[in-house]
Amino acid sequence: MLSVSSQEHGEFLVLNEMQLRYNTEMPRRMRAYAALAEEKYKKPVYPVLINILQPSTPTEIVNCYESEFLNLRAYQDYRVINLWEVEAQTVFQ
């Protein structure tokens, strides 16, 4: 987790979660991690999921968590970076 400050957004946290391979439980975890960090540090959180290796079977990699129970909704967006989609030269820069 990084503490960041910008003129446009003020102080906030960048929550990086790195995974060797995408796991379908990640959306729920990203929601929990973002909420816990926001509660603990009292700052807005920008969650980022970084997947290192492409899944071996076709898998939909989602960038949000959604649930509804008894008409109560939970929703969490997060940024997804799939390293196999990033040019190697860009990574080394």
Model pLDDT for residues 45-63, shown as the tens digit of each residue: 999 999 999 998 999 999 9
pLDDT at 30 over 80: yes
Q: What is the torsional sign of CA 72, 77, 78, 82?
A: positive
Beta strand ranges found along the chain (DSSP E): 2-6, 10-21, 45-53, 64-69, 72-77, 79-82
What does the pLDDT read at residue 29?
96
What is the rounded (10 degree) CA torsion for 51, 19, 50, 36? 150
pLDDT, residue 88, reads 76
Residue 33 per-residue DSSP state = H
Could you tell me the pLDDT band of residue 91, with boundaries at 50, 70 and 90?
low
Q: What is the arithmetic mean of pLDDT over 10-38?
A: 96
Structure-block tokens of residue 41: 């540090």
* Percent of the chain predicted with pLDDT > 90: 88
